[in-house]
Structure 1
Amino acid sequence: MKSYGETLKKIRLSKNYDQSMISGNIIHQSSYSKYELGKINMTVYKFEKVLSNLGIDYEELKFIHHSYNYDAKVAIVTRFNNLKFIDELILKEIIAASEVYLKNIEDPQIRDILLVSHGFLAIKKENNFELASLYADEVWNRLQTLDTWYLADIRLINSILFLFKIETAISISQFAIKQLTKYQALHDYQKLIYPFKYNLVQLLIREKNWLGAYQLNEELIVAFKEEKAYVQIALTYLRKGLLQKKIAMEDEVDFVEKAFEIATVLDDEKLHIQLETERKQILDFIK
């Protein structure tokens, strides 16, 4: 198997750097040469400094190392995290890849993704929320024992919030948002917290807390506009329009209609279907 040292050498040569430029005062040049040849290892500290001197980070190195592709685990996690809607084809691909991966390596994160994907598929194919909740419970049984949640855990739990009882889901959301405050210095912190706030709006709607849902949804509209996240803008517009009608708030703009206009302008059929689904769900809660 090709070592990271070989990949670092390839990157170094492509940048026309000699070994002394990369090793600097971090590691002796002769030792660095042995690392490129795969003969020795480096400490994590020295490895990070070498990457910094090369002008790349670990994620980019892994991507290049695997022939400009993700490794098997990262590919599964990335595919799952990028799911915008419950897409049957993509879910089947994630399930197949996860099962292959778990035959060779037992990995709690991939195991959880497999369970959640099965749950989503049960909803998509059979509208079986009871079965989906059983899969979600298996994931929750592991996560609830942890004192600290990390980003992978937080992303995972956010995806299954809607499968819990309303009181539990709201409690989980509030705990997760507190956990995320530790990541405020991270460059995409806001993008991590938006999904929880977005799902919390739906939870508040289910609890019939119309005003609380409306106020939080307004915060999200402002944030999504700044991000130019048009899919999310459309969905929050839909919620705004339906909530305005429920609390008898007059507005010159029909935000439900505006939401569907965005889907039409983007020529996004999946978004249009999602808006229809969301509208039906919210109207059911309102009734």
Structure 2
Amino acid sequence: MGFGQTLKRIRLNRNMSQEKIAAGLITQGTYSRIERDQLQLDVELFLKLLERLNISSNEFLFIHNNYQAIEHESIMKDFRDLEITLPETLNNHMRRLSIYLKRYPSSNLNKVFIAYQILYLYVVEGNIELAKQKASLVWSDFQKLDSWYIDDLILLNSLLILFPLDTAIEITTTALKRIDAYEHFEKDLTYLKIYFEMDLCVILIQQQKYELVLHKLNYIYENYKQKMSYQTLVALFTNRAICLFHLNKPVEEELTKLNLLLSLYGESSLLDSLLKIFKNHTIEMNK
């Protein structure tokens, strides 16, 4: 079924006539041919018709695909939703994307597959140096671009902790400015700001900048707590506990918050993993 049939379905559901939707744009006869898929739509006209129907292009495509995300978008959504990188999740996502790229080898999702490979090296194989080398090549390519779009920002964020501190700060500073340009976009991108800030905090912890990280984490919590997922909140509580420990301040309140939050969501295995991260930091401190 072509776009014309979907336009017709939406128009009828809006109780609009062909004359009304076409008025001032094209003749009713021309529009009728569009609905019968006898005339190819140019992008400018297509967007104007969608505006008349009060529907976004993303929602139109979703409806056109029988209320299912197209495969490309579904794969990208998996990547966007990758908040906590677990080996099993990485394997599943890489397998799905690999099958897709065999069918569409020229897809721009090749960049995403490279990002998955880098994360696999880092998380599963523990080959941190090679992961960092490959991440630096990705950054070299992005430095040549005049603009970064949403998927570019998501990809850079996924690799942020693999960059040196000065590079990570440069990427984060630039990314936050470019996210601001999307202030009036149909989707709230605050979550991306949170991700960049949180991942920069991880790098700063590795650099033992505990006072600075604690200040940044408190700022993130106070300004964005209403928009944070529970996974991001538990990462924040964990990192705040690490900073408090290294600053010789009480950590019990943060660990209690962490325990309560993950118990509420039934994430006992994730709680064990995060407590292990905290304990590893305490062991390093006591060596």
Q: Normalized against structure 2, the TM-score is what?
A: 0.87
Deviations 1:88-112 (A, max 9, x none): 3432333233233333434564111
CA distance, structure 2, for counterparts of residue 81 and residue 265 of structure 1: 24
- The structure-2 alpha-carbon separation of the partners of 1:71 and 1:243, relative to structure 1 and needing over 3 Å to count, comes to same
> What is the distance in 2 between the residues matched to 1:97 and 1:229?
25
Once the two structures are superposed, the pairs formed by residues 14-25 of structure 1 within 5 Å of their partners are 14-25=13-24
1:225-264 matches, cutoff 5 A: 225-227=225-227, 229-249=229-249, 254-264=253-263
Give the aligned residue type for 2:234: A
Deviation of 1:114 after TM superposition, in Å, equals 0.6
1:263–1:269 CA contact under 8 A, matched in 2: yes
1:1-47 deviation digits (Å, cap 9, x = unpaired): x3211221222234443322322322221111111122223333322
Indicate conservation of the 8 Å contact 2:191/2:227, yes or no: no
Match of 1:176 in 2: 175
In the superposition, relative to structure 1, how do residues 265 and 91 fare at CA in structure 2: closer, same or farther (>3 Å)? same
Match of 1:202 in 2: 202
Q: What is the correspondence of 1:49-60 to structure 2 with a 5 Å cutoff?
A: 49-60=48-59
AA partner of residue 262 (structure 1): L
* Equivalent position amino acid for 1:232 in 2: T
Residues 64-83 of structure 1 mapped to structure 2, 5 A cutoff: 64-83=63-82
Report which stretch shifted further, 150-159 or 216-225. 216-225
CA distance in 2, matches of 1:248, 1:280: 15
Q: Retained in 2: the 8 A contact 1:35–1:42?
A: yes
Where in structure 2 are there 5+ consecutive unaligned residues?
A: none
Q: Which residue of 1 aligns with 2:218?
A: 218
The 1:246–1:43 alpha-carbon spacing in structure 2 relative to 1, beyond 3 Å, is same
Residue 85 (1) aligns with residue 84 (2): yes
The AA in structure 1 aligned to 2:229 is A
Distance 1:13 1:242, change over 3 A: same
- Please state whether the residue corresponding to 2:41 is helix, strand or coil: coil
Task: Report the alpha carbon displacement of residue 246 of structure 1 after superposing the two structures with TM.
Answer: 1.9
Aligned partners of 1:23, 1:208: CA distance in 2, in Å? Answer: 63
Does the 8 Å contact 2:83/2:232 carry over to 1? no
Give the CA deviation at 1:189: 3.4
Structure 1 gap ranges (5+): none
Greater Cα offset, 214-223 or 275-284: 275-284
In structure 2, what residue type is equivalent to 1:241?
A
Whole-Å Cα distance in 2 between the matches of residues 10 and 39 of structure 1?
Answer: 16
Q: Which amino acid aligns with 1:160?
A: L
Q: CA deviation at 1:277?
A: 4.9
SS at match of 1:171: helix
Q: For residues 282 and 62 of structure 1, what CA distance do their matches in structure 2 show?
A: 47
Q: In the TM superposition, what whole-angstrom CA distance separates every residue of 1:245-287 from its partner, at most 9, and x where no partner exists?
A: 3223458x62123212211122123532452354256547756
In structure 2, distance between residues paired with 1:270 and 1:31: 60
Q: Give the CA deviation at 1:144.
A: 2.1
Q: Distance in 2 between matches of 1:280 and 1:157?
A: 29
Who is 2:114 aligned against?
115
Deviations 1:51-84 (A, max 9, x none): 1222321111111112211112111111111112
Q: Is the 8 A contact 2:241 2:278 kept in 1?
A: no
- SS of equivalent residue, structure 1 residue 17: coil
For the residue of structure 1 that corresponds to 2:109, the secondary structure is helix
Contact 2:4 2:34 in 1 (8 A): yes
> C-alpha distance in 2, partners of 1:9/1:204?
54
Deviations 1:99-153 (Å, cap 9, x if unpaired)? 3333343456411111111222233432222343344234223212213222111
* Number of aligned positions between the proteins: 285
- Which whole-Å CA distance do the structure 1 matches of 2:257 and 2:210 have between them? 20
Matched AA of 1:42: L
